[in-house]
Copies of this chain bind each other. A is one copy, B any other.
Amino acid sequence: MRRSLGAGTIAYPTPVFIVGTYDARGMPNIMAAAWGGICCSRPPCIAVALRKATYTYGNIVARRAFTISIPDEGHVVEADYAGVVSGAKEDKFAAAGLTAVRSELVDAPYVGEFPLALECKLVQAIELGLHTQFVGEIIDVKADESMLNADGRPDVAKIRPFMFDPGTSAYYGISRLLGKAFAVGRKLVKNQGGS
* Interface residue A11 (Cβ < 8 Å from any Cβ of B): yes
Please list the residues of chain A having a beta carbon within 8 angstroms of any beta carbon in chain B: 1-15, 17, 34-47, 49, 51, 68, 70, 73, 76-85, 89-90, 95-96, 101, 116, 118, 123-124, 126, 128-131, 133, 135, 137-145, 148-149, 152-156, 159, 161-191, 195
A179, B174: Cβ atoms under 8 Å? no
With A89-B195, A173-B175 known as contacts, the answer to whether A11 contacts B46 (CB < 8 A) is yes
- From B163, B167, B169, B181, contact of A80 by CB (8 A): B181
A161, B47: Cβ atoms under 8 Å? no
A183, B7: Cβ atoms under 8 Å? no
